[in-house]
Amino acid sequence: MSEATSLFRCPVCKKSVDRDNENFPFCSDRCRTTDLGRWAAGDYRIAGEPAHIPNDPDSEL
């Protein structure tokens, strides 16, 4: 195993990823785009109550 090869795995497809890969931490542009789409769709969330934003017209009290 070389210095550049590590135990990193693509968060989308779980393939091994080299740190010197231009798409790191993803294995490919396809997995990078898939992850971006998941963020945009709201599939990833941080657990907990939504934060109150002062002076936000969409925020309910």
Quick: pLDDT tens for 4-49.
Answer: 445 899 999 999 999 999 999 999 999 999 999 999 998 988 888 8
Q: Which residue has the higher pLDDT, 55 or 61?
A: 55
Q: How distant, in Å, are the alpha carbons of 15, 18, 21, 37 from that of 42?
A: 24, 28, 27, 9
Q: What is the pTM of this model?
A: 0.64
Q: What angle do CA 29, 10, 28 make, to 5 degrees?
A: 15
Domains and CATH numbers, the chain: 1-42 (3.30.50.10)
pLDDT at 57 over 90: no
Q: Is 57 helix (H, G, I), strand (E, B) or coil?
A: coil
More confident site: 33 or 51: 33
* Opening angle at CA 37, ends 31 and 42, nearest 5: 130
Query: Which tokens belong to 3?
Result: 């210095």
The label of the residue with tokens 């542009």 reads 29
Q: What is the mean pLDDT of residues 50-56?
A: 80
